[in-house]
Structure formats: C-alpha cells, structure tokens
Structure 1
Amino acid sequence: MSGFLEGLRCSECIDWGEKRNTIASIAAGVLFFTGWWIIIDAAVIYPTMKDFNHSYHACGVIATIAFLMINAVSNGQVRGDSYSEGCLGQTGARIWLFVGFMLAFGSLIASMWILFGGYVAKEKDIVYPGIAVFFQNAFIFFGGLVFKFGRTEDLWQ
C-alpha cells in the first residue's frame, strides 16, 4: 500500500541548503521572542508580588545569558578547527560552552521548581505565572538549541 504523499515533490522546487541558516535563525528568534512575550504577559496581568513574585524573572535573565554564551562560540572553535589563539584556545571555548549549557539547564530546572514548588504544590488559585516562567525558559532554551545546532558553518568560510 503506497502513501498518498508519495507523488508530492515539494523538496525539488526549494533549495533548503542555502536557506538553512535563515530558517534556523528566524525559528530561534521566534522562540526567543515568544518566551519573553509570555513572561511579559504574565507580569502585566499579575503585577502584585502576591500573585507573581518578581524575583522569578531571574530565571529568564539567566536563560538569556546562557543563550548568548552558547551561541558566542562556533562549532569550529569547540572542535579546534578555526581557533587556536586567545586566552585559553580550544579549552577556553569548551569551558565557555559548558558553562553556557549549565546555565541553560539550570534555568530550565529552576523554572520547573518555580512552577511546581511555588504554584502547583501550594495549590494556589492562580497558576499561570508559574506556567509562564516555565514556558519562557523552555522557549529560550529550545531557541538557543535551534540557533546553535540548526545552522551550518560551511557558508561562512
């Protein structure tokens, strides 16, 4: 039994190779923007400290710093192909990337703790701020991954 989409030849008319960096960059930007849009929405809807503790914004700030750290080094620098000088060379680039991923995972885990420890376990009437903090960090995290691994560096050289 053949599939009904076998006759569809869409990939032949579009050259995805040249547009991969553009598509990945736009997707990462949309994810990053959506994360911050969600948390801004929660902060506007619940401006009081009773409903939404404003110190929870620290998770999003740390996720943003991690986003920048992860994407500040190229894959060539981590592999040692294009980076041999500087303060620590290839080792420094790997340490920088590792610290960036630690911050990204840490902020994602902290946002889960805020959601479940601060809103779900306490059985608050309003849970949306906790959900907003979690989704903000999840969108920033996945945006960073798309921007880091969705692009190719072959076009840069």
Structure 2
Amino acid sequence: MKTSKLNAGDVFSIPMNDGRFAIAQVIWMPSGESSSKFRNVFSFAVLSIQNNQEIPIVNDYLVFNNYRGDFKVIFTSKEKILNGEWVLLKRDELSNVHDNLRFFNNAGDLYFLDEHVRKLTVSEYKDYNIMAVVGYELVQQYLSQY
C-alpha cells in the first residue's frame, strides 16, 4: 500500500539489508504550519524484526543502543515513507500510553509533537528523546542490532 501521508500510529515495514523486515510504528509525523522547521523528518519505533511483513502482536518497542545509551525512538527523513520504499501496512492510532515517546529534545528545547513546551536544563537532556536525525544507513545499523 503506497501512500504519501502517514500519521502517528500507522504501522509500516522497512526492508533490511539482510532480507528481513523491521515492522515499525510512526510515533510523530509533523503536521500543520507550526511544524515547518520539522517538515522533512519524522520519528518511529520498531515493533519487531522478522522474516515477513505480518504485523506482530507486541506490547512494547525494541530497544536500540548507541553512544548515548538505550533508546526506542528513531528520527529520520520522510523520503522513504513518501516514495513508498517503506510500505504502509496498517492505519492505526497511537495510544496515550506512548505519550512519553512523543516528547523530544531539539537543541535544548522540549517539544511535544509539533509544539514547543519549554527550554530544558542541561541535566534534563537525558530524560527525553533527542531529535538526532539519522541517515538511512544508520537506521539499518540500528535495526541490525537484532
């Protein structure tokens, strides 16, 4: 199912370099005028790494690791979503249980979805997802941790 517009909660697949698939869920997709500075990026979390594109029944997202530590949310460009290379599998909604994943730190500013919340103190940086937009090769490297 090719689409040009995904929303928070939608489930999609990412073909991996080794032939497997990452089944992921959109956490944040910028919308509206207030998000023009974020218009080319989105965030997602991974439900499963598997050999097919069936949607798994899981209760949590996979945890990845980089030099900053453990994380569940990945920020990257919308390009592969928009061109259909990453395939929409199911329209869904994100439950409020995942609200904490919708907060992110962008250059010391705390955002909830598209809305600026406040400035963070340096000691708070570690408490929030950092909007560190990664390229597609680094996405593949994160996925290959499983």
Give the TM-score, by structure 1 length.
0.22
Give the TM-score, by structure 2 length.
0.23
Higher helix fraction (1 or 2):
1
Higher strand fraction (1 or 2):
2
Which protein, 1 or 2, shows the higher relative CO under an 8 Å CA cutoff with sep ≥ 6? 1
